[in-house]
Amino acid sequence: ASQQLYLDGETLPPDFVYGCATSAYQIEGAWNVDGKSPSIWDHFLHNKTTNDVTYGATGDVANDFYHKYPEDLPLFRNALGVGTYDFTISWTRIMPAGRGPLNDKGLQFYKNVIDTSNKLRMSNICTLYHWDLPQSLQDEYGGWLDRKIVDDFRGYARAVFKALGNKCSHWVTMNEPRTFCTEGFSSEPDFAPGVIGTYKERFTCMHHALLAHAAAVDEFRLGGYKGKIGIKVDGGVSLPLNPASAADQAAAARAMDFEVGWDVAPLYTGDYPPSLIASGVPMKFTAAEKQLLKGSVDFIGLDFYTSQWVTASKHCKPSSGSYPECTETYQQNPSTLIDIGRPTASDWNFDAPHSTIYGGIKYLAEHYNATNIMISETGMGVLNETNFPLEQILEDVDRIAWYRGVLTAMKQALADQLPLVGFIPWSCIDNFEWTDGYNVRFGLINVEYDGAGKGSQKRNPKLSGAFSAFLPFPRLDQRGVSGAYLRG
Ligand code: PNW
């Protein structure tokens, strides 16, 4: 292999994607405009009794992207220099009853976003689901806890593909099933639907999410659409604290199975990781379901932010077989997990690019023979208290340091011939950061609002935005790759 590996057109795969990402609930606002019905996030935050979202913020207005996209998309293209805009579709905007007729105005909004992107010479990665389930389906049958969700998701996917299927170069069925299933049904859920659950609920949600993913991919392939389809999975990389210890190695391998493998293994093997099955699972896939799952991704998106060292727990030995309780305790026991890297404003997120980015790509490639791996989200949040001077917020050198580390890790991956095909920083622009409200910002562009989301909404590119514009990636317009049908 060449010793001179630069992240440029010569050494990157020819279709390498460089973009930036957002999600519907986090930026659009307009929560009840033009026929949109409430999602579980609207409902959850409107009906909260505990006040654990910073400053009681909601996504009711967020960035008002629903109205401001004509000013934001040129910024993404021109200030950040991205070739791809990665966005998510709100189910309740496009199909307000959860199934049945489409809402023309909602659909038109996404057509406008795509057409405007294409006019600016950006392609689109389009995601069907980033956590904003129709509240009506939650009310009707409990949403992800009922098998009915699989058919409804299939119907929603079919309708979206029919309307927009050939307009996106990449489709993502859903964002991070593990995050929305574990956070939405935890013992103290701070994510919608906010249903207190045990491992059984979390597993059931994951099981149905995986089946829904497979059903959507099935629809896409049956329809013969032109783009690629995949999923975005979250996860950290778990490494043995003491690499020489067999017990720590086993603990780390197990943590990878239970976290990353939980949703990744079914995509490649058709079933959960053997160690997870051996520990006892509440639901199993049928032979037909396994067949649908296996090979259900053209590409895999890694939303990888952070990593941890793992050491064998004294309290619950991996071999004890009393999963779920044992394993969950085992994973969550603070004495067994040690965050790797520089702390950030998010208590779960530490800067360790070699472990997280290089390690994540390598793990997927080696363990699951994954090809077409995309770093579909990574980034760091910075605290944005209202009294901080704007100049300080815009000079976000810490975030540049984060992305420099990511670049080095990606160079290493490419040098090792690992199949990295894209890189999508999170996020294009500041937005509603779930339980942190607007107080922790991940954007390459600043938005002037306070922790509750109130303010002028003025957009200001950060220094990291300029850094993004200078990254030596090929942009779609210079190469025309897949641009023909995107623009055509
Ligand atoms: C991503 N973790 O999820 C989400 O896709 C975005 O919506 C979100 O804004 C972004 O992270 C920043 O938080 C994750 O706890 C959230 O490891 C949490 C974790 C991982 C991914």
Nearest-CA residue for atom 8 of ligand 1: 433
175 lines ligand 1 (CB under 6 A): yes
179 lines ligand 1 (CB under 6 A): yes
| Per-residue pLDDT at 337 | 72
Q: Is 121 exposed, middle or buried (0-12, 13-18, 19+ CB in 10 A)?
A: middle
Query: How long is the chain?
Result: 488
Three-class secondary structure of residue 109 per DSSP: helix
Nearest-CA residue for atom 17 of ligand 1: 348
d(CA 286, CA 288): 5
* Centroid of ligand 1 to alpha carbon of 245 (angstroms): 31
Q: What is the mean pLDDT of the chain?
A: 90
d(CA 72, CA 59): 17
426 lines ligand 1 (CB under 6 A): yes
* Average pLDDT score over residue span 20-39: 98
- Of 106-115, 175-184, 442-451, 478-487, the range with the lowest mean pLDDT is 478-487
* Centroid of ligand 1 to alpha carbon of 88 (angstroms): 14
Q: Which residue has the higher pLDDT, 337 or 80?
A: 80
Nearest-CA residue for atom 16 of ligand 1: 179
176 lines ligand 1 (CB under 6 A): yes
* Centroid of ligand 1 to alpha carbon of 176 (angstroms): 8
**Annotated catalytic residue: which of 176, 219, 259, 433?**
176
- Of 20-24, 345-349, 484-488, the range with the lowest mean pLDDT is 484-488
Q: Radius of gyration (Cα) for the chain, nearest Å?
A: 21
List, for residues 356-409, the tens digit of each pLDDT value: 999 999 999 999 999 999 999 999 999 998 889 999 999 999 999 999 999 999
Dihedral (CA of 265, 266, 269, 273) sign: positive
86 lines ligand 1 (CB under 6 A): no
| Per-residue pLDDT at 434 | 96
Residue 338's pLDDT band (cuts 50, 70, 90): confident
259 lines ligand 1 (CB under 6 A): no
Nearest-CA residue for atom 9 of ligand 1: 433
d(CA 166, CA 485): 8
Is the pLDDT at 55 greater than 90? The verdict is no
Q: Is 15 exposed, middle or buried (0-12, 13-18, 19+ CB in 10 A)?
A: middle
Q: Indicate if 328 belongs to the active site.
A: no
* Average pLDDT score over residue span 199-205: 93
* Centroid of ligand 1 to alpha carbon of 221 (angstroms): 29
Mutate to test the pocket of ligand 1, among 434, 438, 441 (most ligand atoms within 8 A of CB): 434
Is the pLDDT at 5 greater than 80? The verdict is no
CA 347 to chain CA centroid, Å, is 18
430 lines ligand 1 (CB under 6 A): no
* Average pLDDT score over residue span 81-109: 97
d(CA 228, CA 299): 7
Is the pLDDT at 328 greater than 60? The verdict is no
| Per-residue pLDDT at 218 | 98
List, for residues 423-432, the tens digit of each pLDDT value: 999 999 999 9
**Annotated catalytic residue: which of 183, 201, 219, 377?**
377
Cite the beta strand spans of 3-154 per DSSP E: 17-21, 84-88, 123-127
23 lines ligand 1 (CB under 6 A): yes
* Centroid of ligand 1 to alpha carbon of 367 (angstroms): 24
Is the pLDDT at 335 greater than 50? The verdict is no
Is the pLDDT at 86 greater than 70? The verdict is yes
134 - beta bridge partners?
39
245 lines ligand 1 (CB under 6 A): no
* Centroid of ligand 1 to alpha carbon of 348 (angstroms): 9
d(CA 130, CA 148): 19
| Per-residue pLDDT at 313 | 66
Q: Which residue has the higher pLDDT, 79 or 52?
A: 79
The total of other beta-carbon atoms located within 10 Å of residue 178's CB is: 21
d(CA 92, CA 131): 11
Q: Phi and psi dihedrals of 271, rounded to 5?
A: -150, 170
Nearest-CA residue for atom 12 of ligand 1: 433
| Per-residue pLDDT at 14 | 67
Q: Which atom in ligand 1 lies closest to the alpha carbon of residue 433?
A: 9
Q: Indicate if 176 belongs to the active site.
A: yes
* Centroid of ligand 1 to alpha carbon of 379 (angstroms): 9
Is the pLDDT at 176 greater than 90? The verdict is yes
Q: Taking the model in full, what pTM does it have?
A: 0.94
Q: Phi and psi dihedrals of 104, rounded to 5?
A: -55, -40
Is the pLDDT at 250 greater than 60? The verdict is yes
Residue 127's pLDDT band (cuts 50, 70, 90): very high
Closest C-alpha among 166, 103, 272, 212 to residue 486: 166
